[in-house]
Chains A and B, each alone.
Chain A
Amino acid sequence: MALQSPMIVAEAVEAMEFPELANKYEVSGVPHTTINDGLGNVIGAVPEATLVREIQQALERRKATP
């Protein structure tokens, strides 16, 4: 996805090496994707379309709470 848009940064984070970050987003299983610092969270390896929907919802939430 990062390749598709210059707005996107995609980071793979090794949860055991960075426990503070993993704890912050309450990561208990992997993969766990957090969108814009916790605005949205996607647990598990989901289909591409599901991830897009979660991103849309997370970004809409931000608009709703300025």
Chain B
Amino acid sequence: MAKILDEGILKQVQEVFAELNGEVRVVFFRSKENCDYCNETQQLLEEVISLSEKLSIEVFDIADDAAVAAQYGIDKTPAFVLAAKDGDQITDFGVRFSGIPAGHEFTSLINDLLIVSRRDSGLAPQTRSYLDELTEPLLLQVFVTPT
């Protein structure tokens, strides 16, 4: 199968990945039906994770692995979670992508991999202190397009 990412991009991403610190596990969910971008998204993620030993992927089917999908609150495909991996311990910070991370979103994917790898939000002190006090669930859905 032809690669989605060209040599130039692969090289650039590999350079950025020198900053990777902790390991990141990509928990990917696909479905057998009605999923135009499942194959492409999985291939793109596999190409990205192949660039660093600190990255790994686990692939689940939303129907066959319904319990895992429920555990992560995944209800559509393609979707994936960027989780921290420390030994056998997988920590879900609540970082999700729904749909293929192409175009601009490819940059967001790379940045989010770096943030999860750092295990630190990088936010301003005032933002941190406000968010640390949150006592109720907060769902932030950011709608984006590839262009």
What interface size band does chain A fall in?
35 or more
Does B119 touch A at the CB level, under 8 Å? yes
Q: How far, in Å, is A51 (CB) from chain B's closest CB?
A: 8
A12 touches B96 (CB 8 A): yes
Does B116 touch A at the CB level, under 8 Å? yes
The interface centre, meaning the residue of B98, B134, B138 with most chain A CB atoms within 10 A of its CB, is: B138
**For chain B, what secondary structure do more than half of its interface residues adopt (helix, strand, loop), or is it mixed?**
mixed
Residues facing B in A7-44 (CB within 8 A) are 7-18, 21-22, 25, 27, 30-37
List, in ascending order, chain B residues with CB within 8 A of A1's CB. 121, 123, 127, 131, 140
**A residues in contact (CB < 8 Å) with B:** 1-18, 21-22, 25, 27, 30-37, 48-49, 52, 55-56, 59
Starting from the known contacts A11-B140, A37-B139, 16 additional A-B residue pairs (CB-CB under 8 Å) come to A3-B93, A7-B134, A7-B135, A10-B94, A11-B96, A12-B97, A12-B101, A14-B105, A14-B145, A14-B146, A15-B143, A16-B99, A21-B76, A27-B143, A32-B142, A33-B143
